[in-house]
Structure 1
Amino acid sequence: MTTSSRRASRRDQHRAGASGARRSARNTLIAYAFLLPFLALLVLYHTWPVIFGTYLAFARYNIISPPEWVGLDNFRELLRDEQFWSGLRNSLKYILVVPVIQVLSILVALLVNRPMKGIGFFRTAYYVPVVTSFAVVGLIWSWMYQQEGPVNAVLGALGLHRGGSLLNNPATALYAVMFVTLWKGIGYYMVLYLAGLQSIAPELEEAAVIDGATRTQVFWNITLPGLRPTILVCSLLSTISAIKVFEEIYVMTQGGPAGSTYSALFYTYSRAFQDFRYGLAAAAGLIIAVISILFGLLNFKLTRGGRADA
């Protein structure tokens, strides 16, 4: 009788296990069914363009004729193209805005993280430029940079600039555009840093203050190490955006004057949609992607992989 009961118990366990496995498989299929539309769009609009674009980097293509494999010819042409190297130099120079925007965003986040009356208004005011279309921002700042605009008036009063639009001067045009990027992006990174600040346990800072630490010591030893994961994310985003700068250039300068604001991505745009040389444009885009990855690895190195010490 005991043996029969044990056999019956094992059969029940086996049936329960089989039923559980079927239920798990069914739940997995349901989950993938819900994911399928997103996965299909991901493959259609992301994965496939990346694969096809990489192939085009080694081909000659003008939309009208089928792609023709040319190997490394596009890359050899880029190596000889001074316009591409000029755009790449300007894009790398644009990275100068990254540390500035990160430092200012942290300072603004510290400012608006304080519990004070009307702080919601200030947070909104800092974020308004982020949600404003760059077409509007570009037009406003282009007017402000004009010879008779307010920026020249202020600089002239300070004795820092005399006459002429900053956007029409090859020596200042790129830095003028960089300032607009800085002005527009601070609010975005401020929100990310604000979230990072609020994720740091307040008990750590309170304990440090009780032990006699000054506010400066608390910032360097508690707050900043705790922000390291956010710093990694923000520096990655801003570095990639700087290397791929395009919208600001397109709206405000079109690469001028005298190519002083011509960026690598603007070169890619010109080759693809003005010259219809999509293979050459894809090769330039592939080089930009590799450079972005290298700077991403450098960011990981500098921030120790985003590991927080606090």
Structure 2
Amino acid sequence: MTTKSRRASRREEHEKGGTGAQVTARNTLLAYAFMLPFLILLVTYHTWPVFFGTYLAFTKYNILSPPQWVGLDNFRELAADEQFWSGLRNSLKYILVVPVIQFLSIAVAMLVNRPLRGIGFFRTVYYVPVVTSFAIVGLMWNWLYQQEGPVNTVLGALGLHQKGSLLNNPLTALYAVMFVTLWKGIGYYMVLYLAGLQAIGRELEEAAVIDGATRWQVFAHVTLPGLRPTVLVCSLLSTISALKVFDEIYVMTQGGPAGSTYTALFYTYSRAFVDFQYGLAAAGGLIIAVISIIFGLINFRLTRGGRADA
């Protein structure tokens, strides 16, 4: 191309620049117009409640009268409330579910990742509890945990028979509810890990086997590093779900017996919708949110930011 033709080409691009910019701006506006309904819903049901809830944490509010600014009074009241601390301890205990559910979900995902006949049926069976309403799940497990129910029958055969329902014993009630969370959640995380496993190149595992690696070495040095991004996502979701556990408690125990299953989120629910102390409830919710962020950062640290090559 000659120098003269290059100059002509540049001149044409310069002349078309204004029109191109208009087209780009029009496309941008069109894109935002398509996103507008979602953005309105996002701001209405997510962003605005977050900011308004944070504001309420520093106020006294009971719906009947406008919020009154009280500064840190709600947090001082929470610090002196043993019921809140008891609920927070139970919420932190609930995090014990996280490593167990992740380990079992990976194991089940590897089990159903095999090209066997009827494997789709087993994947469906494992996922059924996830899509089952917790009202149904709670009623079913309340029956299973009864004194003469199947669970006590099995425990009796093992010499561990309990007097009364496991849910009526303050020493076992929280762990019984935690087991239901574990049972219901395995299928959900199994699907995520299954997707992670299928994204790992099978040639990497085959190369490791050819080099003489054992099954454990292949899992530890090929499969698990490849799953690290999925482990980060699943552990974050599981940790947040454990800290804000509510459905299980509400349906199965209502915080009993003797407050043994009373969690921090159930405390905020009671304060907001039973006592109508919305400022105090918002303060409790803000503390739960901060703790969730801290555990999220810990998860990032433990999983090395979810980087497969870390």
User: TM tier, shorter chain?
Assistant: over 0.9
1:11, CA displacement in angstroms? 5.1
Distance (Å, rounded) in 2 between the aligned partners of 1:160 and 1:28: 66
Aligned to 1:271: 271
Aligned equivalent of 1:174: 174
Q: Which residue of 1 aligns with 2:236?
A: 236
Task: State the match for 2:280 in structure 1.
Answer: 280
Map of 1:191 onto structure 2: 191
Stretch of structure 1 that moved more, 120-129 or 147-156 = 147-156
Q: What RMSD, in angstroms, separates the aligned Cα atoms of the two structures?
A: 1.7
TM-score when normalising by structure 1: 0.97
How far did 1:10 drift?
Answer: 5.6
C-alpha separation in 2, matches of 1:5 and 1:145: 85
Partners of 2:88 and 2:264 within 8 A in 1: yes
Tell me the number of residue pairs that the alignment of Structure 1 and Structure 2 aligns: 309
- Structure 2 CA distance for aligned equivalents of residues 119 and 252 of structure 1: 33
| Aligned: 1:252 with 2:252 | yes
Counterpart position of 1:42: 42
> Aligned partners of 1:44, 1:191: CA distance in 2, in Å?
31
For 1:58-137, list aligned pairs within 5 A: 58-137=58-137
Aligned counterpart, 2:24: 24
Q: 1:59 to 1:215 in 2, by over 3 A?
A: same
- Take 1:56 and 1:20, find their aligned partners in 2: how far apart are those partners? 48
Percent identity over paired residues: 83
Q: With structure 2 as the length reference, what TM-score do the two structures score?
A: 0.97
Give the letter aligned to residue 255 of structure 1. G
Q: What is the CA-CA distance between 1:15 and the residue it aligns to?
A: 2.4
Deviation at 1:49, TM superposition (A): 0.5
| 1:223 corresponds to 2:202 | no
What are the Cα deviations for residues 108-145 of structure 1, in whole angstroms up to 9, with x where unaligned?
A: 00100011000000000000000000010000000110
The offset of 1:162, in angstroms, is 3.1
Per the TM alignment, residue 214 of structure 1 is displaced from its structure 2 partner at its CA by 1.1
Give the whole-Å Cα distance in 2 for the aligned partners of 1:70 and 1:22. Answer: 51
Q: How many Å apart are 1:8 and its aligned residue?
A: 7.0
1:201 aligned onto 2:201: yes
Worse overlay, 156-165 or 242-251:
156-165
Segments of structure 2 that go 5 or more residues without pairing to the other structure are: none
- 1:252-279 Cα shifts (integer Å, max 9, x gaps): 0000000000000000000000000000
C-alpha distance in structure 2 between counterparts of 1:136 and 1:13, whole Å: 66
Summarize deviations over 1:34-68 as a string: whole Å, max 9, x none.
11111111111111000000000000000010000
SS in 1 for 2:117: coil
In the TM superposition, residue 309 of structure 1 has moved relative to its aligned partner by: 2.8
Amino acid at match of 2:217: Q
Pairwise CA distance, 1:5: 9.1
Deviations along 1:144-176, one digit per CA (max 9) or x if unpaired, are 101111111111111112321000000000000
Aligned-pair CA distance for 1:18: 1.0
Q: Distance in 1 between matches of 2:260 and 2:137?
A: 21
